[in-house]
Amino acid sequence: MKVLLINSPLFRYKNLLYDEDSLPPIGLGYIGTQLRKSGINVRLIDAVDNRIPLVELIETITKAKPNFVGTNIFTTNYELVKELVESLHFPTHIVVGGLSTKQLYQQILTWNTPNPITVVTGDGELIMSDIVRGSVKDEPFIQQGNRRVFQVNQDSKYLVSDISDIGLDRSFFPNEPITHELGFTEANIVASRGCVYNCTFCAAARSLNKDYPVRERSDASIVAELNEIRNAFPHVNSIRVLDDLFLKSEKSVQKAINVFSPFDFQWRSMAHVQTFRNVGIDLMRGLKESGCFELFIGIESGSPKILSSINKTKDVSVIIENINKVFSAGINVKGYFIYGFPDETEEDMEMTYELALKLKHLSLDHGTNFRTSVFQYRPYHATQIYHELEAQGKNLQATQVTPNSALSELVGRYQFNFHSGNFSAVEYQTVEDYICRTININGVNIFSGLATNT
């Protein structure tokens, strides 16, 4: 049996200007590891990292003629993955997985191919070997002819209830370790699955994933993986924790200190604007001493109206206070922002820009760095805002996503600029203007601490 796993492409064509690093598809790596452990012949093609145009990807898969093609799918590349699957004109079995299948499975079942399609929602690593062997022990949630859906939720035999020792064969990721533009060399880990918060724009929100428990790895298993990385890649000096939300509370701050302190690594991860609310300055210093070098924080907006509509704290002073605490501990911040939320006005956008500026100046006061990552709002399937827009009769066409080349030419980061309609109260040009200004908050320098002007 031959299995080909595909990290699905974001673009139809090869974009010669696109030369960004991409992160390894860890979920597919876990699946590949289990298949290999079961003695199944498996290969992973990363169409994002290798910038493989759709036509070439179809040719490569057709030439390899695997018995199974397993691919992930996202709202933004739904149409590309559909076309890929419908263009495979040889007998094979298609398996589609990833977080967005919880919302997309009905549409996937209608794809036009004579090949069988199996959709998996939730963890893929344990069920995939049994799909390949034809011995799945769960009843399908849906079975229609040669199409079926398996839900790997809390009632499934295939849920990875303890994610500690599932094992990850890093040889699936030729693009790792990654050398960052700031000079450090980094490997990626996943230490937990699922998020405890409920942001209305996010597909990982708790309310959308109630049957899929939040799980954390044990301290010992994370330490064991860090040791493995240190031994396998002696030149790696930085670790990025890819979890939706690694630092969520005081307890998780303590856990991070425990696992990273024995190592010389610097490390970075996501945190929430509320994470540090009850965390004392000693623990914050401990975090820094454990190697925490930069935190990624979803700030999203500076407008109380917008913040409230997306379920973040509407009290902007809480955001400033908590992020200031991070700066005081000597830790840098990358703030994520979104412009173009439904009914967002220019006044709301101005408040966001002002907040970004304020945070930049605070970081300078503390001798730390602040940088921004800014997105245009896109409705993801079944998120709360998606439903609200649908109820208002908006023509969502959420899968009709096009790369936003004009924005990419202005600000780079091709892999993150996509357009699927303007839902704000202002002209698109204004949204784009705020995105550019906020991305360029540090001028040409990546960090505020390096900036010489403003």
Residues near ligand B12 (CB under 6 A) are: 7-8, 10, 22-23, 25-28, 30-31, 48, 70-72, 74-76, 95-100, 120, 123-125, 128, 190, 193, 202-204, 242, 244, 380-381, 415-416, 418
CB of 18 to ligand B12, least distance (A): 12
**Binding partner of residue 353 among ligand B12, ligand SF4, none, CB under 5 to 8 Å per kind?**
none
Q: Is 31 in the site for ligand SF4 (CB under 6 A)?
A: no
Residues 6+ apart with CB under 8 A from 390: 396
66, 298, 342, 379: which one binds ligand SF4 (CB under 6 A) = 298
Rounded to whole angstroms, how far apart are CA atoms 391 and 425? 18
Choice between 124 and 286, CB closer to ligand B12? 124
- Does position 197 bind ligand SF4 by CB under 6 A? yes
140 touches 148 (CB < 8 A): yes
Q: Are 331 and 287 in contact (CB under 8 A)?
A: yes
Closest by CA to 69, choosing from 54, 81, 55, is: 81
Task: Count H helices and E strands in the chain, helices first.
Answer: 14, 18
190 binds ligand SF4 (CB under 6 A): no
Residue 341 interacts with, from ligand SF4, ligand B12, none (CB under 5-8 Å by kind): none
Nearer to ligand B12, 160 or 316 (CB): 160
Residues in a beta bridge with 349: none
In the complex, least distance from residue 248 CB atom to ligand SF4, rounded to whole angstroms: 8
The partner in contact with residue 272, picked from ligand B12, ligand SF4, none with C-beta cut-offs of 5 to 8 angstroms by kind, is ligand SF4
187 binding partner (options ligand SF4, ligand B12, none; Cβ < 5 to 8 Å by kind):
none
How far, in Å, CA of 433 to CA of 274, rounded? 29
**Residue 429: count of CB within 10 angstroms of its CB:** 8
Token pair, residue 24, equals 């390894």
Applying the rule CB under 6 A, the residues between 128 and 167 that interact with ligand SF4 are none
Contact map string, positions 224 to 263, toward ligand SF4, x by CB under 6 A: --------------------xx------------------
Least distance between ligand SF4 and beta carbon 257 (Å): 21
Q: Please compute, for residue 27, the number of CA atoms within 13 A of its CA located in the half-sphere on the CB side.
A: 22
Nearest distance, CB of residue 203 and ligand B12, angstroms: 4
Region of 20-28, 87-95, 192-200, 364-372 interacting with ligand SF4 (CB under 6 A): 192-200
Which residue in 37, 111, 38, 14 sits closest to 71, CA to CA? 111
- Where b means 16+ CB within 10 Å and e means fewer, 265-286 reads bbbbbbbbbebbeebeeeebeb
Residue type at 250? Answer: E
- Which among ligand SF4, ligand B12, none contacts residue 226 (Cβ within 5 to 8 A by kind)? none
What is the C-alpha to C-alpha distance for residues 270 and 388, in angstroms, rounded to an integer? Answer: 27
Contacts of 270 (CB under 8 A, 6+ apart): 241, 243, 244, 245, 246, 247, 295, 296, 297, 298
- Min separation Cβ 204 and ligand SF4, Å: 4
Cis bond upstream, residue 304 (ω within 30):
no
User: In this structure, what token pair is assigned to residue 422?
Assistant: 């303007």
Q: Which is nearer to ligand SF4, 226 or 356 (CB)?
A: 356
197 binding partner (options ligand SF4, ligand B12, none; Cβ < 5 to 8 Å by kind): ligand SF4
Binding site for ligand SF4 (CB under 6 A): 195, 197-199, 202, 204-205, 244-245, 272, 298
